[in-house]
Amino acid sequence: MLNRYSTLTASAYGTHALTIAVPSRLRYKRTADKPLAGMRVGVKDILDLKGVRTGNGNRAFAQCYPPANHSADFIDEMIKQGAIFVGKTKTVEFAGEQEVVADWVDYSYPFNFRGDSYLGATGSSTGSAAAIAAYPWLDIAIGTDGERDFP
C-alpha cells in the first residue's frame, strides 16, 4: 500500500544487535516536485504515522490503541515531497519533561550520544535530538514544542 508504514523486527537475522532498515538514496532524485526525495526522517512518538502505533512513550497506551489509520497532515505533505520516514524516536511519557529514572517509567530516556555521561536526555523531544546525534545517515528528526491532546 502506498503511504502506509509497518513496524519491522529490530533484530537482524543471525545477530544479537538491533538494526534499522535504512533505504538507499540511490533510488531517489530530488526535483522541483520532490524536494525531499530520499531524505530519511525520524518522527517523535507522539505524532501519528499511518500503520504504526503511536505510543506517547508509554507501553500501555501503545497497546490500548490500534495503529494510526492516517498520518499527521504535515507528514503526508512531507511524504508527497519525497521524504522517507524510517522510524519513531523516543519521548518521555506523554511528552512531559520528567526526569526518567524511577522504576515506574516504561522506557529509559535516550542515550546522549554526544554528551559527557553526566547529561541525561530528559526532555520530550530529546529522542529526536539523540537520533540526529547518533545516526549520521538520518537527515531530519521531527520533535515538538507544545502539548498534545490525548484521546
Written as nine digits, the cell of 76 is 503526508
Q: How confident is the model at residue 1 (pLDDT cuts 50, 70, 90)?
A: very low
pLDDT tens digit sequence for 103-123: 666 667 677 766 766 666 677
Phi and psi torsions of 141, nearest 5°: -130, 130
Is it the case that residue 44 has pLDDT exceeding 60? Answer: yes
Contacts of 151 (CB under 8 A, 6+ apart): 65
3-state secondary structure of 144: coil
Are 82 and 30 within 8 A, CB to CB? yes
pLDDT tens digit sequence for 48-86: 999 999 999 888 999 999 999 999 999 999 999 999 999
Q: Higher-confidence residue: 10 or 137?
A: 137
